[in-house]
Amino acid sequence: MTLRAALCVVLVSVMAGCVSSGGSNPLSTDKGRDAARQAYVQLGLGYLQQGLAEQAKIPLGKALELDKRDPDTLAALALLYQSEMEPELAENSYRQSLSARAQDARTLNNYGSFLFEQQRYQEAFAQFQKAAADNLYPERSRVYENLGITALKLGQPEVARQHLVKALRLNPKQPRALLEMAELSYQDRQYVPARDYYDRFSLLSGQNARSLLLGARLATVFDDRATPATFGQQLKRLYPGTPEYQQYLSEQ
C-alpha cells in the first residue's frame, strides 16, 4: 500500500467514526481534527523517510492548517526544513515544538542531531542529555551513541567512552558505537577489546575509509601479515583520495 493510499484509509476511518457518532463533518470535532492531523503528519514523515521532501510539504501543510501549534507537526516541519538545508527555519520549528512539549525525547534528540550537523557541539550535547533523561524512550541507545560521538567532538574521550558503553549496553548492535569504541580502545593500546569491537562492527556494517584503516592497523598489531594489504587494496580502490589512504601508505 502506498503512503497516499494509507492516508486515505486513515481519513476514511476518521470520517466513518465521526459519521457513526452522528457528526456531519468529520473535521468539525476536536477528535476528528486530531485524527486527520496525525494522519497528515505520518504521511509527511513517510515521504521524508523516502527522501521525498517536496511531496512531504502537502500533507504537512494540511496538518499545519488544522493546528499551527501542534508539536508533532512542528517537529516534522523541522525535519523537512533540515532536509532542505534551511537551518533558520528548522531551528525555529524545533524550538516552537519544544516550547509546546519541552520534554519530548524524540524531538530533543532530533534537535541535538541538527545542532551537531551545524557543528554546535556543546549545544547538541545539552539536548542529547535532556533526551537521555527519558528512561522510557525506546531509542535511548541512539541518544547515548549521539552523546558519545558529540563528546569526541568536544575533545572528551573518557566521557565519550562512558556514553558509548552505555549505548552498547542498551543495544549491542550499533555499528557506529562499536567502531568508535574500537578506535578508542586502539588509541589506548587496548588491542584485544579493540579487535572485539571491530569484529562486531564488521558483522553489522559495510566498511568505510576509517574502518578499513583501523582494520589494517589491528591486523598489523596481531601480526596478520596478509590482511593489512587487503585493507590497503580496498582503500586504494574505494577511497584513493582520502586522508585515511594517505595515512595507510605512510604507515607501511
Q: What pLDDT shows up at residue 133?
A: 96
Q: Which three cell numbers stand for residue 168?
A: 552498547
Q: What pLDDT shows up at residue 23?
A: 53
Instruction: Give 80's pLDDT tier (boundaries 50, 70, 90).
Output: very high
Q: Name all contacts of 164-173 with Cβ < 8 Å and 24+ positions apart.
A: 167/141, 167/142, 167/143, 168/141, 170/140, 170/141, 170/144, 171/141, 171/142, 172/200, 173/204
Q: What pLDDT shows up at residue 33?
A: 86
Q: Are 41 and 3 in contact (CB under 8 A)?
A: no
Smallest CA-to-CA distance from 64 within 46, 49, 78 is with 78
Compare 12 and 64 and report the one with higher pLDDT.
64
Residue 190 φ then ψ, to 5°: -95, 80
Q: Report the share of the chain in percent with pLDDT over 70.
A: 88
Instruction: Give 108's pLDDT tier (boundaries 50, 70, 90).
Output: very high
Q: What pLDDT shows up at residue 150?
A: 98
Smallest CA-to-CA distance from 185 within 204, 200, 205 is with 200
Predicted confidence (pLDDT) at residue 248 exceeds the cutoff of 50: yes
Mean pLDDT of the 205-214 span: 96
The residues, any chain, with a CB within 8 Å of residue 40's CB and separated by 6 or more, are 7, 59, 60, 62, 63, 66, 73
The CA distance from 122 to 150, in Å, is 8
Q: What pLDDT shows up at residue 100?
A: 93
Q: What pLDDT shows up at residue 20?
A: 45
Q: Residue 97, Cβ neighbours under 10 Å: how many?
A: 25
Instruction: Give 41's pLDDT tier (boundaries 50, 70, 90).
Output: very high
The CA distance from 111 to 120, in Å, is 11
Q: Which three cell numbers stand for residue 93?
A: 520549528
Chain-wide mean pLDDT for the chain?
A: 90
Predicted confidence (pLDDT) at residue 18 exceeds the cutoff of 50: no
Top mean pLDDT of 6-20, 28-42, 127-141 is at 127-141
Mean pLDDT of the 74-86 span: 97
Smallest CA-to-CA distance from 79 within 65, 93, 66 is with 93
Smallest CA-to-CA distance from 106 within 74, 140, 80, 148 is with 140
Q: Residue 88, Cβ neighbours under 10 Å: how many?
A: 8
Q: Angle at which helices 140-153 and 157-170 pack, to 10 degrees?
A: 160
Compare 224 and 166 and report the one with higher pLDDT.
166
Predicted confidence (pLDDT) at residue 8 exceeds the cutoff of 60: no
Instruction: Give 32's pLDDT tier (boundaries 50, 70, 90).
Output: confident
